[in-house]
Amino acid sequence: MKEFQDHLLKSKRIVALVGAGLSVSSGLPTFRGSQGLWKNFNMIDLATPDAFYIDPGLVWQFYSWRRFNALKAKPNRGHKTLAKLSMEAASKNIEFITITQNVDGLSIRANHSKEKLYEIHGSLFDLKCTSFMCNYVDHDNFKNPLTKALADTEYEYDNTKRKRKLLDDDLDKEPSLSPQFKPVKEISESELPQCPVCKDGSLLRPGVVWFGESLPLRTINAIDNFIEYDKVDLILVIGTSGTVYPANSYVDRVKVKGGKVAIFNTDIEDHILNGEEKDTWGFKGDAAELLPKALE
């Protein structure tokens, strides 16, 4: 930790690369691993453009459930530490950005600087039109439920005990994973969110990036500029398995230019923990606990 913190103090350009592990102590599940979302559901059936085309009612129930859980969750100390850094960086003469793969909106709710936050996989709270002819996007839509048909879905697959926990105010204190998603009913297209500007009544879809889709170009360009413009001294890799491209490419791009890496994860390979990976520190544990200790 001491060696890492010495480097942190000298670092002038820093990137935080964030994944689902950061929100675990807020009560949200990861994707992979034994408790992960993709262990229980086939991602092809839920998180691809084809899935939405085949069964938009199923996909909307999944995302309605995710929106509900994210709205009930609260930012944890890890989100707050990064948010604080984003706000104080300029006064410390540091250039700092957070690249988050998370769509849960918790970084923004922790008061992370919007300018310095790149939500590369979109947001559960943006809705966008499915028509190629239409650019309509409804940003920051926190309505819950989005339509009458989606109203009771989150309750039907929530057991009473868990429902009480979700509505409690102390998710920060009690890490617990969200209940399982079970689609409960068939919902027709006319009962789903509709584009208000399209005359042909196109559906709105969740504003997230599904497999096989391009990431928002402006966001990707801004990140590329930050990484390529000058050497990044340090990349903090927080709660991500690094399975998904292009997020997983940023670490190597920083390393190639001489930057150092600090990993915060509950699961870290031994050779990293033993200090055998060049220019890489590994801190094993809950990111919400580790980040305040390491960065404040």
> What residue numbers does the annotated binding site for NAD(+) cover?
101-104, 239-241, 287
Nearer to ligand BJW, 35 or 190 (CB): 35
Q: Which of 80, 121, 128, 260 binds ligand BJW (CB under 6 A)?
A: 121
Out of 7, 32, 84, 162, point to the residue binding ligand BJW (CB under 6 A).
Answer: 32
Nearest-angstrom CA–CA distance, 208 and 125: 9
Which CB atom, from 24 or from 236, has the smaller least distance to ligand BJW?
24
Binder among 6, 88, 174, 267 for ligand BJW (CB under 6 A): 267
Question: Is residue 103 involved in binding ligand BJW (CB under 6 A)?
Answer: yes
The footprint of ligand BJW on residues 158-217 (CB under 6 A) is: 208-215
Is residue 139 part of the annotated active site? The answer reads no
- When asked if residue 156 is in the footprint of ligand BJW (CB under 6 A), the reply is no
Nearer to ligand BJW, 198 or 220 (CB): 220
Range 43-72, binding ligand BJW (CB under 6 A):
47
Six token digits for residue 24: 């675990």
Binding stretches for ligand BJW (CB under 6 A): 19-21, 24-25, 30-33, 36, 47, 101, 103, 121, 208-215, 220, 239-241, 243-246, 264-267, 286-287
Q: Which residues are catalytic?
A: 121
